[in-house]
Structure 1
Amino acid sequence: MKKIFLFTLMLFANVSHASVIMVGTRVIFSSGLTEKTVQFNNPDPQPYIVEIKLTGERENSSATPPFIAVPPVFRIEPNQGQSVRLISSKARLALPQDRESVFYMNFTQIPALKASERNDNLLIIAVKSRIKVFYRPESLSGQQGDAFKLLRFSLSDGKVIVENPTGYYLSVSSARYVKGGHSTSLTDAMMLPPFSKTEWSPAGRVTSLRGGKILITQVNDYGAYVEDTRDL
């Protein structure tokens, strides 16, 4: 009996190991837009079938994001590209306008089988990638890249309390506290939601923030890692 086995490999932020890649590492959807074009490329000599699904943070959530992908399924030929339109006509009415909202674009790629291979015993690897989609109201004050300057830091029971008073998400790759030549790790990769408070547990003992500085490496709108410093 001929069998085809399907194995799914999940990739999150980094899609560089996938065959079909999206141009960019995130999508910024401004409230002034009704659609945004996302570009996919296939540098492989193998054609792929790609399926796109938009979800909230939990993929199995019943909440439906106010976006659709057109086309939701497509075949991408070797060394070719494919444009996909993210369309929304109701995001402005459905989402808060005083802060960003985040969704996820999940795209699964499966090698397209040749007619001669369809009766063979095959192990097919389906690669699933996940990209953040930020909905950004035009009414937000300031710039996302400057939101770090407004973060508030305090110390409570040995933990660093981080307050984000802005309407922007901050994608933090890492954070460190530096004082007197000593560096203490505060957190690994995480997101600071708008208007939120978050606890960071230092890797070492921190008794006071005064006189030190916090170095945060964050991912900007272009997917680049940027290090910012705050004196305390």
Structure 2
Amino acid sequence: MLKKLIIVFLSIFICQFAHAAGVSLGATRVIYPINANQVTLKVYNSDNEGNYLIQSWITDSADKKNGDFIITPPLFVMKAGLNNMLRVVYTGNRENLAKDKESLFYFNSKVIPSTAELAKNQNALMISTTTKIKLFMRPNGLTIEDALEAHKKLKCSYQNNQIKIENPTPFYLNLVSLRVNNHDVSNAAMIPPMDSVLLKTSIKGPSLLFNVINDYGAQIKDNICTL
């Protein structure tokens, strides 16, 4: 039997299900209106016995840490069975952000078992996990009503052995379970605003069927884009 405590640190990035260990985030994405002073995100600890150390930070779309955001508290102990509120404040120059479309960042939260919890069991395999969810900076004038309807404006077409999906809207659109003639062509696709993606497939059909994840993290199922 092992005499010493073994600690293994793993980085696990979870986008659709925002949880790690006994700790979960109160949302699967963060919408930050560009003119807001701050946004908040709730953190829950469903473990009635374990305490965890929580560390949070923001990265850009290239996964580099972004110093234009402040998260309060950036590091704290999450007590068993309790919840806490994180404040996210953008301190950068808003003039540097796009005015006509969303900008993408990522909220990262690392969950580390506290040293007190580790000391209780000398023969344990403890895991540190990191949850990563999208954070969208949304310009003025872009309403949630427009965001919820944006997927209806997608344009789809065949290009050789590829399906081109065009997003003419100012919103990031997150599609999952993309199917043609009841055959999967992709598990997921995030289409940037005013941009397009190509999906390789030899499957032909009259339309692309997909689910879309909305602002609330819910899946709106069986949407149709004519090919």
Shorter-chain TM range is 0.7 to 0.9
Cα contact 1:31–1:91 (8 A) shared by 2: no
The equivalent residue for 1:138 is 140
Runs of 4+ in 1 over 6 A off after TM superposition: none
Give the C-alpha shift of residue 116 in structure 1: 8.9
Scaled by the length of structure 1, the TM-score of the pair is 0.85
Q: Report the CA distance shift for 1:153/1:100 in structure 2 as closer, same or farther (over 3 A).
A: same
For this pair of structures, how many residues does the alignment match? 221
Q: Is residue 175 from structure 1 mapped to residue 178 from structure 2 by the alignment? A: yes
Which amino acid letter does the alignment assign opposite residue 26 of structure 1?
Answer: R
Scaled by the length of structure 2, the TM-score of the pair is 0.86
Encode CA deviations 1:134-179: one digit per residue, 9 max, x unaligned: 11112337711211221122221121111111110001112222xx
The equivalent residue for 1:52 is 56
Structure 1 gap segments, 5+ residues each: none
The equivalent residue for 2:102 is 100
Percent sequence identity is: 29
Cα contact 1:219–1:226 (8 A) shared by 2: yes
Which amino acid letter does the alignment assign opposite residue 152 of structure 1?
Answer: K
Q: CA RMSD in A?
A: 2.5
Structure 2 gap segments, 5+ residues each: none
Work out the CA distance in 1 between the residues paired with 2:54 and 2:188. 28
Q: Give the match's secondary structure for 1:189.
A: strand
Aligned pairs for 1:92-171 within 5 A: 92-114=94-116, 117=119, 120=122, 123-140=125-142, 143-171=146-174
Work out the CA distance in 2 between the residues paired with 1:185 and 1:2. 47
Which amino acid letter does the alignment assign opposite residue 213 of structure 2?
Answer: V
Encode CA deviations 1:36-95: one digit per residue, 9 max, x unaligned: 011001111111100002101333x3x625321111101111111111100014352221
Which amino acid letter does the alignment assign opposite residue 103 of structure 1?
Answer: F
Work out the CA distance in 2 between the residues paired with 1:128 and 1:150. 34
